[in-house]
Structure 1
Amino acid sequence: MNKFTLLCATTALVMPAMAAAQSTGSQEVEDDTIVVTGSRLSSGVGGVVVPDVPKTRSILNQDIISRQSEGQSILQTINLIPGVNYTNSDPYGSSGGNLRIRGFPGNRIALLWDGLPLNDTGNYAIFGNQQMDPEVIDQVSVNLGTTDVDSPTPSAAGGVVSYRSMLPTDQFGIELKGSVGSFDYFRTFAMINTGEFGPLGTRAWISASDQDYEKFRGPGSLHKRQYNGRVYQAIGSNGDFVSIAAHWNRNRNNSYNSGTAFDYAANHDFDNIPNCVRDTPTPGVADNEGSGSATNNSQPASCTNYYNLRINPSDTGNIRGSMRFTLADGLVLTADPGYQSTLANGGGTTTLSETDSRLRGANVAAGVDLNGDGDFRDSVRVYNPNNTRTNRYTFLTSLIWEMNQQNRFRLAYTYDRGEHRQTGEFGRVWDNGDPISVWGGRTNELARIVAADGKVLQNRDRYSVAQLQQVSGEYFGHFLDDKLTVTVGIRAPFFKRELNQYCYTTISSGNPLCTSEPIAAARIVAPGTPRPVGGFPANAVFAPFERTVKYNPILPSAGISYEFGRASVYASYGKNFSSPSTDNLYRSVDIDVAPEKTDSFEAGLRYRSSTLQGQLAAYWVNYSNRIVTAQDLDPTSPTYSQTLDRNVGNARAYGLDGQVSWRPIRELSLYGYASYINSKLKDDILGTATATALPTSPCPAGTPVGQTCTIVSVNTAGAEFVETPKFSFGGRAQGNLGPVSVGAQFKWVSKRYSTDDNGYSYSRRTPTAANTVPILDELGRTPAYTTVDLDAQIDFGKLGFKLDRTRLRLSVINVFDKFYFGNISTQSNNVAATRFAVGAPRTIQATLAVGF
């Protein structure tokens, strides 16, 4: 097989322009060796691979994926890579978590599966609990801070995480697993490999899993069921093939309640409550299910924290195609079509007055009797989820031409269309507070709440289309006896969002008002209307609207690497962008939010051998048009007093990421990694105010009374990125003695800021016992923490057991039971109001696997 054939079969792992390489371009596998360029790359050391590409990339394969806890999200596994910080919301991964890479949040990082983009088409969110079972993931790779030239996403300023599913094996095989663990954990997994069958040597596998456990704090459980499969057909002997894969995932989860530092100081197990107190319907009496205090569990208002109303159901599935065809000598075509389906919501509850104008609608009726007591006097508890239904169609294709052994070119095209239907049908609840349907009134007529005029009551109603068409290309050259590699690429995305808001938008809050009630013409404002003298009416609303926005940046990239012996040096540059999300655009009706853009520079040194692999990278990122959510304080603005999204300034970050994996003897592997980041926001978040005659006037002295002035709304200039540790480091050691292997890993994470102003406002208060936030430091930073995990395994196959893939495995997460804050729901400047999710406590898990 010639050098070009190997390259084309593994394009995406190597070339910044090869996003299809995440699936089709990386299919060529011989034995367990990964082919990355024209030469073979070893399978790494201890499951960690440092590929020789002109950018900072790390790969983890099954050697290390399989040592993590059973059923765990693959995003938790990449927490072992420098520059990555993933804070898991529970020990087994079904509650999701929060991802950051070099300070960039998850919605600025592209997540790909066999080349298929997984970020939400509306807000680019990443859902860690919806990822593929780890047993059928071949490998996961992370581009730290840079993207591939043809990354099929309009939001990838912060890098790319991509994983690929396993190829079917040549031989027939079965694997069965059963796992038990802390918090009543129980999981089963089964996989069948067909081996080659039929006259063409077709191969396939199919797998299924079921996972169920209780939350580690508070009432409720998490249930996940998943099915996966893949069929693979080789065509000839030159690496051509056709493959189709399918996936279905069903989650039914009770959510954790993130508390403030005050909540956790009073109770480390702070969470939702187990019972919902209802106000018994009484004819002629004004029953009020919002009465009392939400913090008093004996009063109806506390039902807002009832665990079965705080849920996160989701149904997700996809079909993924991959194919590779040799068109002529030196000319290869790859294609990756895909379809994805999502139905999900985040639960929620509120109370409705039976005389609410939305319930009366266009009818003259006095109201709707929601609790059946024969009157319209009551305020009744209801379920109010925001349902999102997405159909997504993706097609990636590449044409790769080898002009000669030193010069290769690639032209790629991407089409990605997400049709995003978002509704908020209110739902009735049973007497105990449980929702009649987890989807509210979307399809269940018993759960549905109907207004007096027959219209379905809902709190959101909009339809959006996110469509990306992208053309990209790259030159890839080898010089100086293949020691020097040069890449030059360009990406031209043509991205548009079609917005259809079917509800009114309340000007004062930016929230939708979905109603069929008659709205006085004086209240209705056309989007874009200049603010009149005296302002809009207090109850003014924007009319329903249609809007299309387009973003067409040109994004160049380049890379260079030079090998000398087993070592190499490299440098790269990439311009990336992240377009505004759907919520940005619906909320900011009168603001044209520009895309965030980054210029990323990095340089690094690598060493690679069969026993030692290491990488040290330095990077610098300039970040422009940063988007933040802030209140508009300009009284002359059409969006005065609204909380909306806008571009407020620039930022920069630089740092170091390093890793080394070493096998000093065959029985022992060692791995260590560390990261440092220095980040800085360059601008304050500004607003305007009106001068008064009072000494406390917000404007500078001498500003005439009644004149507007610019003020600092949030002191962010000079602040560091929130939720981003300045330092982190960790490592793993694994010993293998015959059939027994034992591993240990740890990670230390430094303090993290919880507010955009880095505690500026908090640190300038006059301290009292009441306004001093516990647990956090004087700048509102979370404490540093260390987690330690252990795993051990006995391989009975090595003891001569006939079922040679039979293993017994034990794992312990957070061995020392460290209490620490994981996810941070950051604030602009209010440390006391910041909410936190707690990291998982000590968790023990045992697994028996039987197979051949």
Structure 2
Amino acid sequence: MKNLSPNKTKPFLSFRQSRLHWVILYSSLCVSGAMAQNTVSSQPAADKSTSGHHHVVSDSTPDEDKNRPSMIGQTAPTDEKSIVVVGRSYADGVTRRGIGGGLMIKEDAPKSKSTITRDYIEKQTPGLNPMQLIALLPGVNTADSDPMGLTGGHTSVRGMNEASMGYTLEGFPLNDIGSYAVYPQEIVDSENLSTIQVAQGSADLDSPTISAAGGVVNMYMIDPTKKMGGRANFTYGSYNTFRGFARFDTGEIGNSGTRAYFSFSDTHEDLWRGPGTEKKLHGEMKVVKEWGKDNRASLVVVGNNLDNYNTPSVNMASWKQYGTGVMGGPVSGTANTVYSSVYTGNTKANTTYYKLHPNPFTNLYVSAPTRINLGHNMVLTETPYFWYGNGNGGGAYWQDMNKMSYGSQTMSGTVNGQNYGQTLLYEPSITKTYRPGAVTKWTWTSGINRLMVGYWFEYSTQRQTAPYTLLNDDGSPKDKWGGGASVVLANGKTAEYRDTMTRTMVNTPFIGDSISLLNNRLTIDAGVKYSIIKRDGRNYLPDTSTGEKINQTYRSVLPTGSVRFKINSEHQLFFSVATNFRAPMNTSLYDSGAYYAGSGYSNKASTGLKPETTISEEFGWRYQGKLINTSLTYFHYDFHNRLFSQTVIDPNNPTSYYSTNINGGNQTTNGVDFEIGTRAIYNIRPYVSGEYINARTKSNLFASASGVSAVLPTKGKFAPQTPRYQVGFGLDYDNGHIFGNFSLKYVGSQYSTFMNDEEVPSYVRMNVGGGYRFKSWGGLKSPTIKFNISNIANKHYLNYASGITTNANYVKSVDGQTIKGSSPTYGIASPFSAMFSISTGF
């Protein structure tokens, strides 16, 4: 049982070497800027080379777009024309015109959407991951575990976590194809983010995702500038954090219509809870080619390399007794909230030694969104992509190499021909993924009507293994990647805790039609897609309950429709209805873990799991005036076969754990969310968001403990992982030179069991930031100093139920039996941190 972290290498430079390189680079930039100094403008210099970033909407709509129907099918970045924000734009992309300080835009979609722009993104701590950046939006509950977000995090929207949401970057999918997990620290550097768009209710027809039962998060990168230049950004702060970022824009290359940028960042951070460090190297490239009338092609390459260590989840007993930092017994006991910093020899106690729990990964994303004008009002949009990931979540097992198992057989094992008897072995949970795919879409516009026909195809291969390997004398793995000499059994087979291959083929045709009436005051959308997901799996472990070959096919017809009506230029109403589904995780197809005589493997396949299906309705009102923008939405969901991700801990080895799906039955959700933001009032831009939700389980669930199995009375209980109330508040001030911001997020309590007998308490988190933007000086454009303080009250709190259970305490079943509970596990929120940054354009 392992942490199924899929992707994962060694940093290229040591910490001191990389810091020195960044200092030299920054000094060179400053010197070149001083040598190029000529005149000083009276105001901070605008970035006049701004080419217009996708989805950054100006106060007015271009005349040619006024009669264009909006569609539920515009995920690709080439679908929307670049709209230049009228007015000043600084080298960092800030315009000082963003509604609510960049937490809202003027929206025209026929369903609920919330979007943040560079006006907000740029003023946060540099390098935050996208989940941290969307925390204030309505319905969004973000849980991070370290200040810089390098250990990832979790996000739920209207009670549905990231595994139930689709995540895309530049139109290609980001969710793991097997578990649907999202690793936000891998995705994109915040300096290159143009917008993040959260569609709370449903995915678009062309969204390339098979897990978006609850909506989608779309991210778009900035375009290369038309003039040569770039940016540099350096951050230092709490927990020995050091981060450097640099980007170079080529400008337009001759008269070719081609421009590009290349960026690189290097981040180091000490773990705040327990020993260990996190080191991340990240590179990005975007090339854009434009020609003719509305023809555009781009190439996006994102590479990420992270070397860090896991921190354990905690149960409520250990949290209440020991808080954030005591090392003691096993994770499932009452005294372990961090891993040990001391290796005391080859003993069972050292399963909790931190060097045995690395989380290395490397990944590569490549995409080429292309738009070709075919003439006669026809457009072809093509988004091919390739997704590669390799890495693991490490752990350790105490083994007797004379009594190792190969399914039901017991035999000896050796490493390089030597038997070490009873010994501690390293066992990483390795996942390697190859994932090519493409979304092809043809659109034809004829007067007030627009027809869209498309196809999404993907064929992925995911290899998941867990070999046993030896340790060095200091307790560290011989190879944290699980390479090198592994334990070989007497029959010549490599000893594995899991050993699977999954090939997933996705075929999704879709068609949509949109009609615009009453001079675009009334827009009606309708469409349908047919998703076919075929998993062809092989389990190379012996004596499994399913045999070696497993084939599973999931099919679903997903219609959608929406209406948007503009009462006048300021008020509009919208209504949408959509169907979504999510296929079970690939791990549900396989047996894995330890083998026990008479009962089989500890982790059993659940091939009978049905896909989660959702029918959602939304009815909303927007007011978009000269000063205030408001959105108010009522939503309703009906879930069937609600799938919850559950973290299961091996009782025989509590440092090993894995994720799986459990069927939570049917569920009904009703709620209201809203957001309000203003344009500048004496340079002040406030923003408020909120949500009330009532999510109820409609089924009684089966539970088993201590040999007793029964049905629990969960029907009518509040759904787990769903806060009933949330409120966000943001305040932004920017006069061109001085800027400051404050944010507050209140998250109500959320249950961690289906019986509602344990919960994550409510909490409030506050952040503050500010800085000064200098006048441009020669070659340096808008040099800026900035500070950001997160969790300013230094509250220590639980923020996420990572491992939900049916019941935490003893409860009576429907037929009167007493069922013992099992402890849910939780994530711990990141503490107070202070970061100081300097940046400049050039």
Give the alignment's TM-score, normalised by structure 1. 0.81
- Aligned-pair distance for 1:195? 0.6
Larger Rg: 1
**1:653-802 alignment, distance < 5 Å:** 653-663=669-679, 665-686=681-702, 712-759=710-757, 780-797=758-775
1-side partners of 2:571 and 2:387: how far apart? 42
Query: Counterpart of 1:492?
Result: 530
Return the letter of the residue paired with 1:814: N
The match for 1:583 among 581, 587, 591 is 587
The match for 1:276 among 309, 332, 343 is 343
**1:27-42 alignment, distance < 5 Å:** 27-31=81-85
The DSSP-based 3-state class of the residue aligned with 2:781 is coil
The match for 1:46 among 89, 101, 116 is 101
**1:328-727 alignment, distance < 5 Å:** 328-358=375-405, 367-368=412-413, 378-404=421-447, 406-441=448-483, 444-445=484-485, 448-504=486-542, 541-542=544-545, 544-565=547-568, 566-587=570-591, 589=605, 591-627=607-643, 647=663, 649-663=665-679, 665-686=681-702, 712-727=710-725
The DSSP-based 3-state class of the residue aligned with 2:789 is strand
Contact 1:600–1:619 (CA under 8 A) maintained in structure 2 = yes
2-side partners of 1:217 and 1:599: how far apart? 41
* CA deviation profile, 1:73-131 (whole Å, cap 9, x unmatched): 01111111110111011111001111111111211100001111111111111112212
- Aligned-pair distance for 1:666? 4.5
1-side partners of 2:453 and 2:314: how far apart? 50
2-side partners of 1:413 and 1:32: how far apart? 36
1-side partners of 2:661 and 2:122: how far apart? 42
2-side partners of 1:50 and 1:713: how far apart? 49
Provide closer, same or farther for how the CA distance between residues 361 and 758 of structure 1 changes in structure 2, counting only shifts above 3 A: closer
1-side partners of 2:384 and 2:137: how far apart? 30
2-side partners of 1:114 and 1:738: how far apart? 31
2-side partners of 1:849 and 1:2: how far apart? 33
2-side partners of 1:664 and 1:317: how far apart? 40
The match for 2:280 among 224, 245, 255 is 224
2-side partners of 1:95 and 1:233: how far apart? 36
2-side partners of 1:721 and 1:392: how far apart? 34
Contact 2:546–2:590 (CA under 8 A) maintained in structure 1 = no
Return the letter of the residue paired with 1:573: V
Contact 2:235–2:241 (CA under 8 A) maintained in structure 1 = yes
Query: Counterpart of 1:321?
Result: 368
Contact 1:618–1:654 (CA under 8 A) maintained in structure 2 = yes
Contact 1:4–1:330 (CA under 8 A) maintained in structure 2 = no
- Greater mean alpha carbon deviation, residues 227-236 or residues 664-673: 664-673
Provide closer, same or farther for how the CA distance between residues 628 and 266 of structure 1 changes in structure 2, counting only shifts above 3 A: closer
Query: Counterpart of 1:841?
Result: 831
- Aligned-pair distance for 1:753? 0.9
The DSSP-based 3-state class of the residue aligned with 1:25 is coil
2-side partners of 1:748 and 1:687: how far apart? 33
1-side partners of 2:122 and 2:384: how far apart? 29
Contact 1:185–1:211 (CA under 8 A) maintained in structure 2 = yes
- Greater mean alpha carbon deviation, residues 646-655 or residues 47-56: 646-655
- Greater mean alpha carbon deviation, residues 454-463 or residues 717-726: 454-463
Contact 1:4–1:402 (CA under 8 A) maintained in structure 2 = no
- Aligned-pair distance for 1:68? 1.6
Query: Counterpart of 2:78?
Result: 24
2-side partners of 1:753 and 1:548: how far apart? 35
Return the letter of the residue paired with 2:83: V
**1:279-294 alignment, distance < 5 Å:** 279=346
Q: Give the % identical residues.
A: 26
Query: Counterpart of 2:44?
Result: none
Return the letter of the residue paired with 1:430: N
Provide closer, same or farther for how the CA distance between residues 740 and 608 of structure 1 changes in structure 2, counting only shifts above 3 A: same
* CA deviation profile, 1:151-197 (whole Å, cap 9, x unmatched): 21111101000101111111111211111010000000000011111
Supply the RMSD in Å over aligned alpha carbons.
2.8
- Aligned-pair distance for 1:2? 12
2-side partners of 1:801 and 1:815: how far apart? 37
2-side partners of 1:174 and 1:18: how far apart? 30
Contact 2:534–2:554 (CA under 8 A) maintained in structure 1 = yes
Return the letter of the residue paired with 2:791: N
Provide closer, same or farther for how the CA distance between residues 408 and 645 of structure 1 changes in structure 2, counting only shifts above 3 A: closer
Give the alignment's TM-score, normalised by structure 2. 0.82
1-side partners of 2:478 and 2:349: how far apart? 19
> How many residues are aligned here?
725
Provide closer, same or farther for how the CA distance between residues 203 and 583 of structure 1 changes in structure 2, counting only shifts above 3 A: same
Query: Counterpart of 2:16?
Result: none
The DSSP-based 3-state class of the residue aligned with 2:134 is helix
Contact 2:404–2:413 (CA under 8 A) maintained in structure 1 = no
- Aligned-pair distance for 1:812? 0.2
The DSSP-based 3-state class of the residue aligned with 1:226 is strand
The DSSP-based 3-state class of the residue aligned with 2:587 is helix
* CA deviation profile, 1:286-320 (whole Å, cap 9, x unmatched): xxxxxxxxxxxxxx322111111112111010111
Return the letter of the residue paired with 1:403: S
The DSSP-based 3-state class of the residue aligned with 2:588 is helix
Query: Counterpart of 2:258?
Result: 202
* CA deviation profile, 1:690-743 (whole Å, cap 9, x unmatched): xxxxxx998xxxxxxxxxxxx743332111121211001011111123411111
- Aligned-pair distance for 1:19? 2.8
Query: Counterpart of 1:132?
Result: 188
1-side partners of 2:221 and 2:64: how far apart? 22
Provide closer, same or farther for how the CA distance between residues 590 and 185 of structure 1 changes in structure 2, counting only shifts above 3 A: closer
The match for 1:259 among 314, 327, 332 is 314
2-side partners of 1:145 and 1:606: how far apart? 16
Query: Counterpart of 1:851?
Result: 841
- Aligned-pair distance for 1:344? 1.8
Return the letter of the residue paired with 2:266: D
2-side partners of 1:337 and 1:174: how far apart? 28
The match for 1:172 among 224, 228, 244 is 228
1-side partners of 2:239 and 2:646: how far apart? 40
Contact 2:236–2:835 (CA under 8 A) maintained in structure 1 = yes
Return the letter of the residue paired with 2:345: R
Provide closer, same or farther for how the CA distance between residues 629 and 470 of structure 1 changes in structure 2, counting only shifts above 3 A: closer
- Aligned-pair distance for 1:272? 0.8
Flag the structure with more relative contact order, 1 or 2, with Cα contacts below 8 A and sequence separation at least 6.
2
- Greater mean alpha carbon deviation, residues 493-502 or residues 113-122: 493-502
Q: Please list every run of 5 or more consecutive structure 1 residues that lacks an aligned counterpart in the other structure.
A: 34-41, 280-299, 505-523, 525-540, 632-642, 690-695, 699-710, 760-779
The DSSP-based 3-state class of the residue aligned with 1:557 is strand
Contact 1:360–1:451 (CA under 8 A) maintained in structure 2 = no
* CA deviation profile, 1:306-354 (whole Å, cap 9, x unmatched): 1111121110101110111111131111101110100021111101212
Are 1:824 and 2:824 counterparts? no
* CA deviation profile, 1:421-472 (whole Å, cap 9, x unmatched): 111122211111111111113xx24xx3333444332222111111111111
Provide closer, same or farther for how the CA distance between residues 715 and 309 of structure 1 changes in structure 2, counting only shifts above 3 A: farther
2-side partners of 1:196 and 1:687: how far apart? 63
1-side partners of 2:407 and 2:677: how far apart? 67
- Aligned-pair distance for 1:580? 1.1
- Aligned-pair distance for 1:3? 7.8
The DSSP-based 3-state class of the residue aligned with 1:263 is helix
Contact 1:383–1:429 (CA under 8 A) maintained in structure 2 = yes
